[in-house]
Amino acid sequence: MTLAKKNLPNRVKVGNKYVGEGESVFFIAEIGNNHNGDYYLAKRSIEEAVKAGADAVKLQKRFINETFAKELVDKPQNKDQIFGKTYGEYRQALELNQEEFAKLKALSDSLGVIFFATPFDKKSTDFLEEINVPVYKVASFDVTNIPLLEYVAKKGKPMFLSTGMCTIEELDEAVDAILKHNDQLIIKHCVSVYPSPDEKINLKTIPLLKERYAPLPIGYSGHEQDTLPTLAAVTLGAVSVERHFTLDRSLPGPDHATVSIEPETFNSMVRDTRRIEKAFGEPVKKFTEEEKKTREKHSKSIVSAAAIPAGTVISASMLTCKSPGYGLKPNMIEKVIGKKTKVDIPLDTVIKHDDVMWG
């Protein structure tokens, strides 16, 4: 793999933020097609995602005849909550035009959130390049689409790559293809089951990817219906989280109810993650100031098990260990045995350093 031949980054700059080692988890609200082809629904979704704590908002872009063959474009649709009589009509109804994309990017810029999208074909990549998105996402569907991966990579911008529905060998090939042109890559563990039950999520893939593609940043793109697996992914080292975002899970469309979370849940997920980040702390063993009072009260000291007159040679039978902990520590007991006392020590009394003749 090219991976072993390059000096790869452990963090990647996305817009005005970094994603990777030592950085706060980067949250992406995947609006996707949950705007249902409605510019104003997309606009409100972005505004609510910002309030919910998203670092970035992401849409999807397809040119229908570039992404799907005629047999799929012409396939009849008979599902509920589908826009159009054929698959092509349904997909076309979900697309926003370039002017709308540009306005949504300008809105996002004004709100301080990063705006980008997933292109599903080369023409869509050029479409997004024209509005100057700062980063690209390639979906799991296209892990094996090496021509598209290389086309996007050659744009020279950071890339997120989801890893659902592929083998590890196919993922190796995809990563290798991207790294030939662009090392600003963030790989995201993903399971393309909609929604994903717990037993399918397989979060232990995250440390595997961290080791296999080190030092590249590893994230998580989740399709569960709550946030617990996402929080677990963070504890396993995911540095970026992507979750489908909707204003209302009862809206028509394929992703709203199955894999999307609403603003309140998204915000709760962000808040819980920030708590986890604080709780992570540093890789050092600390003895905090706040612990000292508790330690002084409840840790153990050497205590007299009998009255010990001044000048007495101390024996083991004269000693025990009890709280409080301001006296000689129990690990000193062998050093105390055989020494003489300087003062009278009553029964059941904490023995202090100055009570013993050390010379």
Question: What are 181-201's pLDDT values in tens digits?
Answer: 999 999 999 999 999 999 999
Q: Which two tokens stand for residue 286?
A: 């600390």
The answer to whether 187 and 216 have CB atoms below 8 angstroms apart is: yes
For each of the domains in the chain, give its residue range(s) and CATH number, in order of start.
Answer: 10-280 (3.20.20.70), 289-357 (3.90.1210.10)
* Amino acid 38: pLDDT: 94
The answer to whether 141 and 120 have CB atoms below 8 angstroms apart is: yes
Nearest residue to 349 (alpha-carbon basis) of 302, 316, 314, 299: 302
SS3 for 180? coil
Q: Which two tokens stand for residue 231?
A: 């929080």
The answer to whether 239 and 218 have CB atoms below 8 angstroms apart is: yes
* Amino acid 77: pLDDT: 83
* Amino acid 277: pLDDT: 97
The answer to whether 117 and 61 have CB atoms below 8 angstroms apart is: yes
* Amino acid 254: pLDDT: 81
230 class by beta-carbon count within 10 Å (0-12 exposed, 13-18 middle, 19+ buried): buried
The answer to whether 312 and 357 have CB atoms below 8 angstroms apart is: no
Residues in the chain: 359
- Give the confidence band of 83 by pLDDT, cuts at 50, 70, 90: confident
pLDDT surpassing 90 at residue 352: yes
- Whole-number Å distance between alpha carbons of 127 and 64: 13
116 vs 6, residue with greater confidence? 116
- Whole-number Å distance between alpha carbons of 93 and 100: 14
Q: What is the pLDDT of residues 260-284, one digit of tens each?
A: 999 999 999 999 999 999 999 999 9
* Amino acid 78: pLDDT: 73
Give the CA distances from residue 285 to residues 147, 154, 237, 294, in Å, rounded to whole numbers and listed in that order. Answer: 49, 45, 20, 17
Nearest residue to 198 (alpha-carbon basis) of 224, 220, 219: 224
103 class by beta-carbon count within 10 Å (0-12 exposed, 13-18 middle, 19+ buried): middle
